[in-house]
Amino acid sequence: MAGYTDRAFRHLCKENGADVMVSEMVSADGLIRNTKKTIPYILFDDLERPFGIQIFGSDPYIMAKAAELCLAWNPDFIDLNMGCPVKKVVRKGAGIALMKNPVLAEEIVREVGSVIEKKCFLGAKFRSGWDLTSLNYLDFGLRLQDAGADFLCLHPRTHSQMFSGKANWSHITELKKQLSIPLIGNGDIHIPEDALKMYEETGCDSVMIGRGALGKPWIFNQIHQLEKTGDYTPANRQLILETMFRHIDLATHFKPEDVAVKELRSQLCFYTKGIIGGAELRQAINNAISAEQIKELIKNCEGLKY
């Protein structure tokens, strides 16, 4: 997730049981034209594997060039973003705009596939369609499969829905029935039970978690525990506090402290939802200027004392 799943957060998720991870989406254009500025977004290390780099764009040639550049880092897969509904992406014909132009989307898969040459896997992530009157996820998914994608991921909302309303998991069920390549289901997995429910209801091969991991990266361990034992350990104050501290340490390890502190403001607020004194803590963190100061504020929060 752009703005959130940076290296610090990915390391945190890995330590908390995440199996496979993917970079924030990166502009193919940016990678080629502004390589120095964009490269930091695709950097990863072996601890993050299996790891994919996600690129977005609308020009098959530029997408292929960007994928070729990514190969130098030896990712386990390249993921093509064909689902982003954000204006500045759609305006350029990228993200979900490609669902209005399936022939171009196919061409992108073919071009990128031809430079990857099976050196890593190739996936694509998309939505149900532009709006409820133009649901084309079945046709779109089959076209991408035929064009050479190794796996697909469906977030069953439309462009018009953005992130609101409910993800329509029946679209995952329908697409899974038609595909011969693996399908990842995505959308509205907020608690561990949701993940098992998605597997059961849709028959998907894997599940992808976005917002459900923000402020609760332990959700991955909980899902594994639930799968194995039928139950899981709920997060307690100690886990929340220790995870927040670890998040801060990782953030300042990977980025300069002033940058990390600014970014942590939006990331840490997810841990404090529903906690006694959470609103006050969020406000205080927003004014903090160092990692140590943030830690001190967290330690003194009523709802996090144990």
Ligand X SMILES: Cc1cc2nc3c(=O)[nH]c(=O)nc-3n(C[C@H](O)[C@H](O)[C@H](O)COP(=O)(O)O)c2cc1C
Q: Which residues are known catalytic residues?
A: 84
Please tell me the count of residues contacting ligand X according to CB under 6 A. Answer: 20
In angstroms, the CA 97 to CA 94 distance is 5
Q: Of the two residues 267 and 272, which places its CB atom closer to ligand X in the complex?
A: 267
Rule CB under 6 A: is residue 247 a binding residue for ligand X?
no
Rule CB under 6 A: is residue 6 a binding residue for ligand X?
no
Are the C-beta atoms of 104 and 33 separated by less than 8 Å?
no
Q: Of the two residues 4 and 270, which places its CB atom closer to ligand X in the complex?
A: 4
Query: Distance of alpha carbon 273 from its chain centroid, rounded?
Result: 21
By CB under 6 A, name the one of 24, 205, 249, 263 that touches ligand X.
24
Q: How many CB atoms lie within 10 A of CB 305?
A: 12
Rule CB under 6 A: is residue 191 a binding residue for ligand X?
no
Are the C-beta atoms of 80 and 122 separated by less than 8 Å?
yes
Q: Of the two residues 191 and 284, which places its CB atom closer to ligand X in the complex?
A: 191
* Residue of closest CB approach to ligand X: 210
Element (H, E) at 294: helix 291-299
Rule CB under 6 A: is residue 224 a binding residue for ligand X?
no
Q: Tokens for 219, please give them.
A: 């959700």
By CB under 6 A, name the one of 28, 116, 120, 209 that touches ligand X.
209
Rule CB under 6 A: is residue 294 a binding residue for ligand X?
no
Question: At closest approach, how far in Å is the CB of 97 from ligand X?
Answer: 14
Taking CB under 6 A as the binding criterion, the range among 134-142, 198-206, 207-215, 295-303 that sits at the site for ligand X is: 207-215
List phi, psi (to 5°) of 93: 80, 10
Q: Which residues are within 8 A (CB) of 52 and not within 5 positions of it... i.e. 6 or more apart?
A: 20, 21, 22, 23, 75, 76, 77, 78, 79, 121, 123
List the interface residues with ligand X, window 80-109 (CB under 6 A). 81, 83
End-to-end CA distance of the chain: 32
Question: At closest approach, how far in Å is the CB of 208 from ligand X?
Answer: 7
Q: Residues in the chain, how many? A: 306
Give residues in contact with ligand X (CB under 6 A): 1-4, 24-25, 54, 81, 83, 125, 155, 163, 186-189, 209-212
